[in-house]
Structure 1
Amino acid sequence: MQHFAQLPTETVTKWQEMVDLLAEIVQVPSALIMRVEPPNIRVLVSSKSSGNPYEPAETAPLNSGLYCETVMKTRRPLLVPDALQDDAWKSNPDIKLGMISYLGVPVSWPDGQIFGTICVLDSKRNAYSDLFFRLLLKWRDVLEADLKLFDMLDKQLKEREAKIQRLVDADIIGVFMWTGTRIIDANDTFLRILGYERDDLDSGRVRLTELTPPEWRERDVEHWLLELKQTGTLQPFEKEYFRKDGSRVPVLVGVAAFEKGGNEGVSFVLDLTERKRAEAEARESERRYGEIQAALAHANRVTTMGQLVASISHEVKQPIGACVTNAQAGLRWLSARSPDPGEVRLAFERIIKEATRACDVMNHIRDLVKRSPMHTERVQINDAIREVVTLTSSEAMKHSVSVRMELDDGLPLVLGERVQLQQVVLNLIINAIEAMSDVDDRQRVLTIETSQDESTGIHVMVRDSGPGIAPDDIARLFEPFYTTKHEGMGMGLSICRSIVEGHKGRLTVSVNSPQGVTFLMQLPGCEKNIPGP
């Protein structure tokens, strides 16, 4: 493994202080840290002491006979008290600089490879004391500890860079690097997202300002100038980019500057085209599904009202017949020799009353049967229930069912669709009447009760005294197309539960003791309904 990484400035500054202090303690003109950089050896740090002939960054070829070369080759300390008196060192190039004595020790990387040396040199004979030698070894230990830390950090950095490079090279997400507004590099995925070629990027034609549609630029400036400058990162945000052909692509962008407040960084781009298409399809599917809930609910209402034709006919014929009777009475009073205006007025008032009653019945029928867009409003649930009970009263009488209403007048209003809520009540009432139609050994009683619970909201209970439901049937009662009747499609209760859940409520069923069942509709209230005086 070769070590040619640039050392951090902070480390070099620290080492400079070390050699300055070393030269002062040993009282020599030169203290050096040398670094091997094949094919040369370089002065990495040189003391600022007086008389030092060595300048930082000076280099010399390897194998030129320097003291430090021997230290690096032998991996052992070297002491030369006086090169002028030593045949092995008389031709040493350092003598030409006036440095005739030398003490140096090798400095190694954590993996054992030689880094260089730390040494002191003097212009006069110097045998250097054992204290100075031990001091040099301690200084060497500090250098090697720094190299170990630097090597570890360098490895971690390279590992991170490798991970980033794998991400850049992977065909998963678009990555580009930027300087200012210019994109200086990008992976193939990013270019493919925008429809550009590598030549477009190399030519400098791909710029952030040109990629961004006008309506996004102000927001980009806010992101880049404020958040990025302050924090160094931009959390992922959605925007659009122009493709090369002028079309647009929705993207998710995350940004990180190389330095906080810096003008360079890397961005990650995820193409949201498929996600946006899926979201649109989901919305369309939901819309179509809603139209089909609505269609089934309407069909269910029409079917249910069809079951009540005879009863509804009676409800309408009764006030119309009363109108005819009162009109005939009025005519007789007008034909009398001495017409009584009071009796005539009373007849007309009765006609108005009965006609209004007939109109109300027809309006309720029309509201339940007609198919119209859902209209959310604040509903007084008790009033909605009373209207349904009025429509079904003749059906109940026909089957000898006694209807009891126990309605709490202090209930909050319900935010919802009035007709749909009435449809639920209508289905539950008709089911209860049908369930009791064969009961002969007890009174047929239908009880409709409303109340309020602080934790679960408004309760609407429809309770009958019919034969009940078998345990196996209860578990499947709300399943589509499941029915216990000889006739019918089994959609009524399924639709009812969907309606209630659409109002953020719940519809459940339980068996009464000793007989009958209770359906419980729970709905959230929206505001308190304060009764009038």
Structure 2
Amino acid sequence: MPHALEVPPQTVDKWQDIVNLLAEIMSVPSALIMRAKAPNIEVLVSSHSAGNPYEAAETAPLDTGLYCETVMETRQPLLVPDAIADVDWNANPDIKLGMISYMGLPISWPDGEVFGTICVLDRKKNAYSDQFLRLLAMCRDILQADLNMLMALSGQLAESQARIRRLVDSDIIGIFLWEVETQVIVEANDAFLRLVGYDREDLRSRGMRWTAMTPPDWLEVDLRDRLPVLKRSGHLQPFEKEYFRKDGSRVPVMMGVARFEDGGKQGVAFVLDLTERKLAEAEARESERRYRETQNALAHVNRVTTMGQLTASISHELKQPIGACAMNASAGLRWLGAVPPNLEEARLAFERINKDARQASDMMSHIRDLFKNAPLQKEGVQINEAIREVISLTRGEVVQHGVAVQMQLAEDLPPVKGDRVQLQQALLNLIMNAVEAMSTVEDGPRELTVRTAADADHTVVVTVRDSGPGVPPEHAARLFEPFCTTKSSGMGMGLTICRSIIQAHGGTLELCENEARGAVFQFTVPTLDA
């Protein structure tokens, strides 16, 4: 069942950053992510804010009238400005901890099963604001996107485990037992010994250590990333790596690793030789078929994933106008408290608050639009405005990678006919690809240029140019094909999705020749009057 799945540690760490940020932005002592584990409710993540009485892993029985219990039962948002003054809430158990105000939203699995809640609590009366509610909803959407991905990965893992069981029964898959502390392989089946070219004598002499059999480039990842997770959680998700054979050659494998429960002193590993398996080809063909039938769904996952990568950048952009509101509010109060009150300065302060609040509200609306999974709707879109919004969302990522951005946007462009969110997704993919490509540049400037221009035949041309390493000639011909990628990670679907979006708008997307270094992508979109 989906509700029984465990949230991976790396996802919990990401959620921890989210609740810490919520508590900081809203200036409350507690921001929580709760999980339903009948007959109890568990504090899964708790903000590291001063005065927070809740700690992760705490549990409480259900049916005790907790705020979050009501949210899960009704599956509706709950706002309690002052529980002490509210006869429906003045007996709430959270009041004993001093938490008298609450705002929370339900979190659900993709199948509708309730996961839990995300909420904030305060020791004082707090009606919160519509902006804070929208911010909480945006964070909830990020959490539900993670659960959607977790559920999908769980299904893939179940399929992989079924295949592995069949392979074990046929002695095709290698299995070995190893000591967690010494990394010595103490037992192995014939399939594994054949795979790595060792024999039983090597095994009996305790001369086989998986660390010594692992190439240095893979061993660094094992020791730095995988071994701590194994010691903490007791198992690892299936992953790929390589082993040295006894003769010094390498063999690529897929592995599943777990520790035994009796003290955790030994582990078991399942090793599949990837050089002889043909399953990957069949899965690639099946993936292509699935891509053609659920293209819109995949585009949405791509968009949500990319937005998840921009959480820090988005948070930074939101904190600026929100922080400015708080600062101007303090200034306005000081001007009103002056003797005599300086009404003109106070008015100017409140005008600045109004401006910054609208800016934050508009940004959150744009972000929510990007998270929605709505069908394509063509209308008039000001492409320059859409580009500026995407640049704003990516500003933190761009600054982090030391990229200088230039926008050369033609004036008086006619509106294009398209779906604003999907066009922004195509732009977001191209910009993030460019930033990632330039992150490896060490001997020159990192420059990103976005240019717009009117073209003949009622079209607008958008050009994205970077100063990265460019596209190798051997990849250029297949660049827009599914699963084609020059990156060390990723599905290789980003440019495929970009092209499908632009083609759905009646335009074209292509990689242009570039005399200097870097890559140039250009797409056209028909104007509204075309």
- Alignment TM class, shorter chain as reference: 0.3 to 0.5
Whose radius of gyration is greater, 1 or 2? 1
What's the TM-score, normalizing by structure 2? 0.44
